[in-house]
Structure 1
Amino acid sequence: MRKGREQKNIATARPLSADIASLLFKVAFVGALFLGMFSFIFGAFRCADISMSPSIKDGDMVLDYRLDKNFHLHDVAAFTYEGTRMAARVVALPGDEVAITADGLVVNGSVQQESGVYGSTTQVAQGITFPLTVGDGQIFVLGDNREQAIDSRIFGCVDVAHAEGKVVAILRTRAV
């Protein structure tokens, strides 16, 4: 009886080439799924400046969610400026009036008390002029490292349609 059972297993065994083809199909499927997720749903980039330091340091990997562009105050937006992907904090939304005075950042006539901001918020030479009203479909962003940040004080408001998405994770690559 045992001999008959062994013969049955040998007869129904799949050839090695079928197992290899099945494995390659699964690897290709997972690779395509991963590529699709990071092409349409998520974006990832290495931060190349210190505008958001120490929240996001130079060299950190930033993961952004591309499907949610409904920004709120204090969200961190990912966008492209002069060919470089960047991240900055949303400080004003459509319809808000933004000014930078000797007191710092003023939104809709109120001086903003911000935590986690390093350095003073001042105007930038050759930057935009204030006061500025944020247009429909736009956001005003500032880096947390205000004295060395490249942000809306230089290039103006960011169009939400051109924003990459909301930053959802930061992967430290140095000093872990």
Structure 2
Amino acid sequence: MLLKKKHKKTVTQVNRDKSPPSVWGDILYLVSKLLMVGFVLAILYFFVFGLLRYNDDGMKPALKDGDLVVYYRLDKRYSIGDLLVYSYKGKERVARVIATEGSTIDINENGLIINGSPQQEQDIYKDTLLYKEGASFPMKVPAGQLFVLGDNRTTAVDSRAFGTIPIQDTHGKVVTVLRRRGF
């Protein structure tokens, strides 16, 4: 009976001609990785997220002068109470969504009234008053628009001054606030 021997073939090749990686190759690799990270961060900043240094008193106590506001540009489905970023007269502002399309807003001596119900708002310490030359009330929020107010009702420039804002004209929904004071 013949037995076949099985031979294991092991191949060990040592490439002695290959030189170790050069310092310039490592630097080029690192620079290319940094450029890729920078490109991804730029895409995120310009198309997905926005950053705003808040310079106003209109949202006190929620936001204070010097805070950094990070907002998400892609989600424009706002709910009552959301903070959003928008522009008015060339300045980026932050305000709170008070009413969405179809709601009826009235501001009178009894305060803020939405759909016939007086509003008792948490963290709002001043009365909601009308601007002398602003929007007229009562008003119904048109389709595709929002009614926004600042939390500091005495200094905020908001929908009482210019009426409702179109949703497509908003920049995005605030996702976080970074406190930045004393710098």
TM-score after normalising by structure 2: 0.88
User: Structure 1: which 5+ residue stretches go unaligned?
Assistant: 1-6
Partner of 1:61: 68
Q: CA deviation at 1:72?
A: 0.5
Q: Give the counterpart of 1:164 among 150, 158, 171.
A: 171
Question: How is 1:72-151 mapped onto 2 (pairs within 5 angstroms)?
Answer: 72-151=79-158
Aligned partners of 1:52 and 1:12: how far apart in 2?
63
The number of aligned residues is 170
The verdict on how the C-alpha distance between 1:9 and 1:106 changes in structure 2, with shifts beyond 3 A counting, is farther
Query: 1:153: Cα distance to partner?
Result: 0.4
1:78–1:166 contact (8 Å) kept in structure 2: yes
- Kept in 2, the 8 Å contact 1:47–1:62? The answer is yes
Tell me what 2:54 maps to.
47
CA distance in 2, matches of 1:162, 1:40: 15
Amino acid at match of 1:89: R
In structure 2, give the amino acid aligned to 1:167: V
Q: Distance between the aligned counterparts of 1:10 and 1:128, measured in 2?
A: 80
Which residue number in structure 2 is paired with residue 28 of structure 1?
35
Q: Could you tell me how far 1:118 is from its partner in structure 2?
A: 2.6
Is the partner of 2:84 in helix, strand or coil?
strand
Secondary structure in 1 matching 2:60: coil
Q: Which runs of 4+ in 1 moved over 3 A?
A: 7-12
* Displacement of 1:9: 8.1
- TM-score normalised per structure 1: 0.92
Offset of residue 53 of structure 1: 0.7
Offset of residue 8 of structure 1: 6.3
The one-letter amino acid of 1:14's match is P
1:17 positional shift: 1.2
- Kindly provide the CA deviation profile for residues 54-112 of structure 1, in whole angstroms up to 9, marking residues without a partner as x: 10111111010111110001011111111111110100000111010111111111111
Larger helix share, 1 or 2: 1
* 1:118/1:147 contact within 8 Å kept: no
Change (3 A) 1:57 1:28: same
Bigger CA radius of gyration: 2
What letter corresponds to residue 21 of structure 2 in structure 1? R
User: How far, CA to CA, are the matches of 1:161 and 1:13 in structure 2?
Assistant: 56
